[in-house]
Copies of this chain bind each other. A is one copy, B any other.
Amino acid sequence: MTVFTDEQKIKYLQDIVQIKTVNDNEEEAANYLAGLLKEYGIDSYGVKYDEGRVSLVADVKGQEEGKLLVLSGHTDVVSEGDPFYWTYDPYAAEIHDGKMYGRGVNDMKAGLMALVLAMIELKEEGADFNGTIRLAATVGEEIGMYGSKQLSEEGHLDGADGFLIAEPSGQGTIIYAHKGSLQYEIHAQGQSAHSSMPEVGIDALQLMVDYINNSNEKFAEAFAKGTNEDLGDTINVNTVINGGAQINSVAEKVIMKANARTIPEVDNQVVLDQINAAIEEVNATSKGELSLNILQNNYFATSPDDNPLIEALVNANENPEAVSRETIGGATDASNFSRISDEYDLAIYGPGDMSVAHVVDEYVEVQEYLDFVDIYKQAIKDYLKV
């Protein structure tokens, strides 16, 4: 038994892709989903992050008490860039040769809509399960992960046993863990002077080099203290550097961006401790001043690769052996969800190829999207079985 025809499922996805939510305006998408849920008797409530930015929470209850499974997808998308480069209008959700094109269709409105439709169908079908299915449609995942942070901190997901995040992994790959990601800037403040008289200035470029040398030593020592068998080592990469105004002036200011990827054994705070220690040591011996600006501090998320949610999703495939269990370097909303409890079942699994996210001509295979509705339904029933 199914509640929706394929045409309906496709139409709903087109509708939500056509709502432009570039790191803003998620309220319109939340309202759309709330309306759809309401049609099938499912109440929901919004959690306002900012003007026009609302995350959505909705529950479907099973027969008896049981586990709490959170189904999550973010409603924001990244910018489409210059539409000139797109073959089709990035917000038209046109279908050509079995692919639906549009900004965010892959990352991750197809996954989110498949979760919502699975939830509705399970309710309409009166499916047998215990516990609670909770939708958490989040704002601002692409920049800052604001929605998942707010929902986690304000208690909306308390007691969750499992998190199913419908990020585009593709049907053949399921993710059970990912590293944390710490993004930060180091500012080196010096004082300008003509390059013929550097002694009257303070060289911010050399100050930054002193910091890099000092922190590199500290990172090497601290990062050697632990390895995660799934995720490998914590690493740090200094990625972007800009500073100095002109060739004949001592640099007054240099800013460096950096990105650390963390594991539970050597976590974000360990990285921050090394940075702060390096800054303190270099500042103590310089007239200039180094400072730290944290841009994003997303934790790792880890779970066994055979946790019950992973098993349920893998087994919902016609050919379970064809699904590989993997980890990824990038962070997801699970970074915030994972901080709610020490133990949880995590699965990141959704329609679409990860490599198509954020690019021009982003698309999802329509059939894969439709298949995922059924995979989700079966896996949810399995995970919450009576």
Contacts and interface: CB of A to CB of B under 8 A. Distances in A.
A235 interface: yes
B239 A197 contact: no
A236 to B, nearest CB: 9
Contacts of A213: 209, 213
Interface string A149-164: 0000000000000000
A258 B254 contact: no
Interface string A15-44: 000000000000000000000000000000
Nearest to A198: B237
Given A194-B329, A213-B209, A239 B235 contact: no
Given A196-B330, A198-B235, A251 B259 contact: no
Contact of A246 (B240, B248, B256): B240
A198 B238 CA distance: 10
Interface string A188-203: 0000001111100001
Nearest to A193: B237
Given A213-B209, A238-B205, A257 B261 contact: no
Interface in A181-230: 181, 183, 194-198, 203, 205-206, 209, 212-213
Contacts of A203: 237-238
A104 B125 CA distance: 85
Most chain B CB neighbours (cut-off 10 Å) among A195, A251, A261: A195
A66 interface: no
Most chain B CB neighbours (cut-off 10 Å) among A206, A241, A245, A330: A241
Contact of A247 (B198, B235, B239, B329): B239
Given A196-B261, A247-B259, A259-B247, A238 B329 contact: no
A242 interface: yes
12 contacts: A181-B248, A183-B247, A195-B329, A198-B235, A198-B237, A203-B237, A237-B250, A239-B248, A239-B251, A241-B254, A242-B242, A242-B243
Given A195-B329, A205-B241, 15 more contacts: A183-B247, A183-B248, A195-B261, A196-B235, A196-B328, A196-B330, A198-B235, A203-B237, A209-B212, A237-B250, A238-B251, A239-B248, A239-B251, A240-B251, A241-B242
